[in-house]
């Protein structure tokens, strides 16, 4: 059902993909928009317990698109450095294909919003809860269940990592 990565030597392991998703703060959510037009939107997100969570408005283009077609794609760039001398970019990225749904249980929505808040604004719990209480009525939480995930590390980054791995640490006497 899903294509095999063309440059499989550059593929990340599942564990490495999960590490990228945990480290990341923003990604691009791709949906099927109005009249079948692609719709991609940059978002902040949380990767937790093997799923991706995104908060946002209860109504709008994204909400309508998810309700119409729950199959989505999500992309995260972990590292990206343009290397002009090589006419290339050193990068690491993950692409997820999954099924999205809006959470309906208020306790679950509150829990995910709290975890999102901890990730991005590590204030004390009282301030977080007050903020969540204020906005929870108008905030939706989208959950993406991952069906397929691939990650890729660009050639330049892979070569750099292999070179560093081949170096021995200095001997301390």
Range of the domain at 21: 8-161
CATH of the domain at 139: 2.30.110.10
Provide the b/e sequence for 83-122 (b: ≥16 CB within 10 Å). eeeeeebbbbbbbbbbebeebeeeeebbbbbeebbebeee
- Give a yes or no: residue 166 inside a domain: no
One pLDDT digit (tens) per residue for the chain, 173 residues:
787 778 777 889 999 999 999 999 999 999 999 999 999 999 999 999 999 999 999 999 999 999 999 999 999 999 887 888 888 888 899 999 999 999 999 999 999 999 999 999 877 788 889 989 999 999 999 999 999 999 998 878 777 777 777 766 566 65
17 assigned to some structural domain: yes
| Residue 172: inside a domain | no
Q: Is the pTM of this model over 0.85?
A: yes
Number of domain units in the chain: 1
Residue 49 resides in a domain: yes
80 domain residue, yes or no: yes
The number of beta carbons lying within 10 Å of the beta carbon of residue 45 is 22
Domain annotation covers residue 173: no
């Amino acid at each position: 059902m899903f294509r095999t990565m063309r440059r499989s030597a550059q593929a990340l392991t599942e564990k490495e993909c999960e590490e990228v998703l945990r480290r990341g703060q923003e990604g691009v959510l791709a949906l099927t928009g109005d009249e079948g037009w692609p719709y991609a939107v940059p978002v902040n997100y949380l990767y937790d317990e093997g799923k991706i969570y995104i908060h946002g408005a209860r109504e709008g283009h994204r909400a309508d698109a998810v309700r119409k077609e729950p199959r989505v794609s999500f992309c995260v760039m972990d590292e990206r450095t343009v290397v002009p001398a090589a006419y290339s970019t050193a990068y690491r990225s993950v692409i997820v294909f999954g099924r999205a749904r809006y959470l309906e249980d208020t306790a679950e929505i509150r829990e995910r919003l709290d975890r999102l808040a901890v990730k991005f604004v590590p204030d004390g719990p009282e301030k977080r809860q007050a903020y969540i209480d204020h906005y929870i009525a108008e905030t939706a939480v989208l959950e993406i269940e991952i069906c397929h995930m691939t990650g890729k590390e660009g050639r330049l980054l892979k070569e750099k990592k292999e070179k560093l791995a081949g170096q021995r640490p200095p001997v301390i006497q």
